[in-house]
Amino acid sequence: MIVLQDLTKRYGEKTAVAGLSLEIAPGKVTGFLGPNGAGKSTTMRMITGLDAPSAGSATIGGRPYAAIRHPLREVGALLDARAAHPGRTARAHLLGLARSNGIAADRVAEVLELAGLTAVAGNRVGSFSLGMSQRLGIAAALIGDPAVLLFDEPVNGLDPDGVRWIRDLVRTLAAEGRTVLLSSHLMSEMQETADHLVVLGRGRLIADAPLGEVIGRSSLNAIRVRSPHAELLHRHLLDSGMAVESKEVEEIIVTGGSPAEIGDLAFRHGIPLHELSPRRATLEEAYMELTADSVEYGKREGI
């Protein structure tokens, strides 16, 4: 488990992460979201000891990263796909990591195979595409078979087959009981992958909740109702306290209540329904609502 307690990072007068407190639990994929500049990468760097907090703490299994004697056996991280030395081969890069943490050399072949890089294991890393570098970074993160994994934008540069591979991989890792923290700007992919979401805005926590709960809070969730007696139904909906967004001649958009409640109400008053269909917001829509006031590098008027 990863535990953050009042985690703060300042760069001069700028606060990149402000008093962040949360637990990232094992057994599920935790999606890490936020606009550019929200503090996601800085948070991951503090978790892995690459940046020192200005205040607060980040612990993994109750210890800071720097206190873990063989970190690759306990924590795997892909924070920069281009971090490997370009003059080394993929095999040499992974072998060096394995030796530095007392990991058997046989593990190198295993993670190369898992990442789909066996055929290019002897190629220099500098010749790799971004997608291949991402795969190598994931192989490096997995080399110690760790219980905690952090992936920062792992699908960048991957083709559709690679994106699907990442999705299946992280879900498998979480199903094995590992702690998985995954950041991405691809909302459609995150909706397919994550179980739980942590959303930051300007370094502060905006949401820490299951995926379904975050989407369920969106004001764009609604129910479309069609009836030849829409006017009568509209009055009964308002009398029952349900929120109605709009009403047309035979159509009503309801933002409060459930399809079952609306159907029961119509039945009680003998009102025929020609359609009763829920419209659920996408994660992208819910995310845009959540972060609307937190976008630091948004479009300026007139541009």
> What pLDDT, in 10s, does the model give residues 71-92?
999 999 999 988 899 999 999 9
pLDDT digits 0-9 by tens, 194-247: 999 999 999 999 999 999 999 988 888 889 999 999 999 999 999 998 888 777
Q: Give the strand order in the sheet containing 251-254.
A: 244-247, 251-254, 222-226, 275-279
Q: How confident is the model at residue 297 (pLDDT cuts 50, 70, 90)?
A: low
Q: Which pLDDT score, from 0 to 100, does residue 275 have?
A: 94
Q: How many CA atoms lie within 13 A of 242 on its CB side?
A: 26
Does 299 or 231 have the greater pLDDT score? 231
Q: Residues 177, 26: contact at Cβ < 8 Å?
A: yes
| Beta-strand runs (E) in 12-131 | 14-24, 28-33, 55-60, 75-78
Residue from 80, 60, 82 nearest 72 by CA: 60
User: Is it the case that residue 2 has pLDDT exceeding 70?
Assistant: yes
DSSP state letter for 67: G
pLDDT digits 0-9 by tens, 91-129: 999 999 999 999 999 999 999 999 999 999 999 999 999
Q: Which pLDDT score, from 0 to 100, does residue 156 have?
A: 87
Q: Which pLDDT score, from 0 to 100, does residue 129 have?
A: 93
Calculate the dihedral angle through the C-alpha atoms of 252, 258, 264, 267, rounding to the nearest 10 degrees: 20
Q: How confident is the model at residue 7 (pLDDT cuts 50, 70, 90)?
A: very high
Mean pLDDT, residues 176-203:
94
Q: Give the strand order in the sheet containing 2-11.
A: 14-24, 2-11, 55-60
User: Is it the case that residue 28 has pLDDT exceeding 50?
Assistant: yes
Amino acid at 196: H
Enumerate domains of the chain plus CATH numbers: 2-211 (3.40.50.300), 222-279 (3.30.70.980)
- How buried is residue 142: exposed, middle or buried, by Cβ count under 10 Å (0-12/13-18/19+)? buried
Q: Which pLDDT score, from 0 to 100, does residue 299 have?
A: 54
Q: How confident is the model at residue 57 (pLDDT cuts 50, 70, 90)?
A: very high
Instruction: Give dist(CA 303, CA 300) in Å, integer.
Output: 6
Alpha carbon 184 to its chain centroid, in Å, reads 6
The pair of three-digit structure tokens given for residue 227, joined into one six-digit string: 């009836």
Phi, psi (deg, nearest 5) at residue 249: -60, -50
Q: Which pLDDT score, from 0 to 100, does residue 298 have?
A: 55
Q: Residues 131, 100: contact at Cβ < 8 Å?
A: no
Q: Which pLDDT score, from 0 to 100, does residue 302 have?
A: 46
Place of tokens 């500049």: 37
Q: How confident is the model at residue 296 (pLDDT cuts 50, 70, 90)?
A: low
Pairing of strands 2-11, 14-24: antiparallel
CA quadruple 247, 252, 258, 264: dihedral positive or negative? positive
- What mean pLDDT, rounded, does the chain reach? 92
| Angle, CA 62 vertex, CA 61 and CA 68 arms, to 5° | 70
Rama region for 265: left / alpha / beta (φ>0; ψ in -120 to 50; rest)? alpha
